[in-house]
């Protein structure tokens, strides 16, 4: 007798629907941080590996109950940790359908609708982000893989210029590639550099200025002393203060030296979608490649990043592959030609839904509102007794710190105090922030990336922070 019972999907989907809807209805009323310790969570979830299965609706129901205390309420409006976006209703629902459809979005032949939606979405994204309409693109798992995709194209191009075919010969014996960037390079780009086989010893990290920007003279001087293939990585919105390098000044310098210019715009590239903020990315379209995310500021569910490459030929040379058992489209786009993955999730549907839900105007409003809320939070918290504003951001980030009130307190005491207050705020359940080190000192990061965060949330959170600071001073 078969152990696989003939069951329908219905009961399991009903159970999932119920749990998901309850969660979303209650998320604003729940403590923002997880309720359970690691030991408690492990005990709940770590069932013995059973010989016999159980009905699917029972599996889903138990999972809904057991995971509950270990969830971070990051889809809610008072979550400001790291850089984590919320989810728009249309994007979330489209993501559910994506799972139900269970398409392999490798090629047009494996899923025509998935491939067509990606083709359309790529065009919309280029319009929204004001990138060249001729640029090629890939929908990948996140900005990390977008970096990798772009760097693979960059690696191909800078070595091809020197007569080296990296796809065929690899990097052994190739002219060494230099990566020139600022000291604010995000870890995901560093990892992509490792994955691309270039190696972290090849990174030249130039000092950024006090606002986090790479000075033009510093870049020019560094490039002068380098002979050989170069990739310059610039930043559209760094993770701490949302700093934007000046693309207008820096890209021509890099191009004069024959460098490939890649832009990390994980969230900051979205400034281009807002008439109020697009000056921050002036001339960014003159770069060679760009990496950004959907799961941060576009508020689609996780597993969604976008890579763009100005020279589609180079992009395809780095990624495409032909296999005899796959048929390739003549009149449509095959995602696998542009992606590092083979089998892959049809992640275009959620992006398609998000863009259709908001339209150009709605996306601009979401970007602008997040920036306004970040500014209010940063200045509001920075004005509290015992707090200090470190830096507001040109966009949706901000940094503050908390001062040890004891006479003679040292910088280390303020660092410790900052970490304690951040932990206290998170423990209060009223909001969630993460901390960082900025220019050598500990700071609390404020990151607003959720369409749901509004003025009431900001006022409530400033009050909550004031209470924690007061309690810790008593
Ligand atoms: C500036 C920057 N670049 C890249 C990334 C990595 O993005 P992902 O987590 O989507 O790979 C992040 C994530 O916070 C980021 O802030």
Query: Looking at the predicted structure, is the pLDDT value of residue 1 above 60?
Result: no
Does ligand 1 have an atom closer than 6 angstroms to the CB of 143?
yes
Instruction: List beta partners, residue 230.
Output: 178
Give SS3 for 441: strand
Name the DSSP letter for residue 344. Answer: -
What is the rounded distance in angstroms from the CA atom of residue 136 to the CA atom of residue 146? Answer: 12
The pLDDT mean for the chain works out to 96
Ligand 1 midpoint to CA 188 (Å): 6
Determine whether 249 is exposed, middle or buried from the number of CB atoms within 10 Å of its CB (0-12, 13-18, 19+).
Answer: middle
Ligand 1 midpoint to CA 81 (Å): 13
Sign of CA dihedral 170, 173, 175, 176: positive
CATH number, span 93-357: 3.40.640.10
| pLDDT for position 326 | 84
- Provide the 10 A C-beta neighbour count for residue 183: 12
Query: Looking at the predicted structure, is the pLDDT value of residue 123 above 90?
Result: yes
Does ligand 1 have an atom closer than 6 angstroms to the CB of 462?
no
* Average pLDDT of the residues in 48-53: 94
As given in the structure block, the two tokens for residue 142 are: 């996140």
The percentage of the chain sitting over the pLDDT mark of 70, rounded to a whole number, equals: 99
As given in the structure block, the two tokens for residue 102 are: 């269970």
Alpha-helical regions (H) of 166-206: 166-169, 187-195
Query: Looking at the predicted structure, is the pLDDT value of residue 158 above 80?
Result: yes
pLDDT tens, position by position, 253-302: 999 999 999 999 999 999 999 999 999 999 999 999 999 999 999 999 99
pLDDT tens, position by position, 51-60: 999 999 999 9
Using an 8 Å Cβ cutoff, are 209 and 183 in contact? Answer: no
Does ligand 1 have an atom closer than 6 angstroms to the CB of 240?
no
Specify the ligand 1 atom closest to the Cα of 142.
10
In testing the pocket of ligand 1, which one of 143, 434, 447 has its CB within 8 Å of the most ligand atoms?
143
Give SS3 for 232: strand
Does ligand 1 have an atom closer than 6 angstroms to the CB of 81?
no
* Average pLDDT of the residues in 406-427: 97
pLDDT tens, position by position, 355-387: 999 999 999 999 999 999 999 999 999 999 999
Does ligand 1 have an atom closer than 6 angstroms to the CB of 15?
no
Does ligand 1 have an atom closer than 6 angstroms to the CB of 263?
no
- Provide the 10 A C-beta neighbour count for residue 367: 25
């Amino acid at each position: 007798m078969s152990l696989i019972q003939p069951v329908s999907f219905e009961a399991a989907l009903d159970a999932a629907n119920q749990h998901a809807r309850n969660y979303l209805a209650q998320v604003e009323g729940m403590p923002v941080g997880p309720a359970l310790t690691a030991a408690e969570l492990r005990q709940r979830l770590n069932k013995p590996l059973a010989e016999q299965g159980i009905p699917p609706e029972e599996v889903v129901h138990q999972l809904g109950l057991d995971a509950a205390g270990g969830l971070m309420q990051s889809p809610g409006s008072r979550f400001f940790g790291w850089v984590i976006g919320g989810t728009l209703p249309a994007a979330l629902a489209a993501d559910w359908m994506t799972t139900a459809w269970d398409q392999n979005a490798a090629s047009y032949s494996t899923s025509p609708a998935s491939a067509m939606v990606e083709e359309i979405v790529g065009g919309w994204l280029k319009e929204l982000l004001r990138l060249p309409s001729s640029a090629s693109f890939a929908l990948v798992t996140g900005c990390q893989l977008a970096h990798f995709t772009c760097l693979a194209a960059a690696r191909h191009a800078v070595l091809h210029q020197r007569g080296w075919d990296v796809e065929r010969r690899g990097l052994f014996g190739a002219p060494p590639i230099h990566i020139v960037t600022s000291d604010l390079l995000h870890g995901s780009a560093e990892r992509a550099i490792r994955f691309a086989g270039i190696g972290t010893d090849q990174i030249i990290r130039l000092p950024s200025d006090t606002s986090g920007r790479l000075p033009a003279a510093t870049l020019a001087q560094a490039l002068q002393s380098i002979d050989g293939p170069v990739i310059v990585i610039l930043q559209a919105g760094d993770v701490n203060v949302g700093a934007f390098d000046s693309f207008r000044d820096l890209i021509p310098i890099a191009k004069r030296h024959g460098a490939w210019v890649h832009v990390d715009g994980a969230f900051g590239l979205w400034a281009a979608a807002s008439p109020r903020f697009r000056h921050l990315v002036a001339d960014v379209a003159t770069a060679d490649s760009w990496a950004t995310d959907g799961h941060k500021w576009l508020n689609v569910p996780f597993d969604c990043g976008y890579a763009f490459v100005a020279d589609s030929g180079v992009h395809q040379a780095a990624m495409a592959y032909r296999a005899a058992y796959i048929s390739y489209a003549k009149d449509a786009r095959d995602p696998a030609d542009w992606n590092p993955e083979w089998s892959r999730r049809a992640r275009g549907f959620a992006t398609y839904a998000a863009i259709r839900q908001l339209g150009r105007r709605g996306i601009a409003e979401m970007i602008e509102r997040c920036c306004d809320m970040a500014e209010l939070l940063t200045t509001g918290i920075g004005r509290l007794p015992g707090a200090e504003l470190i830096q507001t951001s040109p966009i949706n980030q901000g940094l503050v710190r908390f001062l040890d009130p004891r006479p003679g307190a040292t910088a280390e005491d303020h660092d410790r105090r900052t970490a304690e207050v951040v932990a206290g705020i998170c423990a209060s359940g009223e909001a969630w922030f993460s901390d960082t080190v900025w220019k050598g000192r500990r700071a609390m990061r404020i990151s607003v990336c959720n369409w749901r965060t509004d003025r009431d949330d900001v006022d409530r959170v400033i009050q909550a922070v004031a209470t924690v600071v007061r309690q810790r001073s008593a």
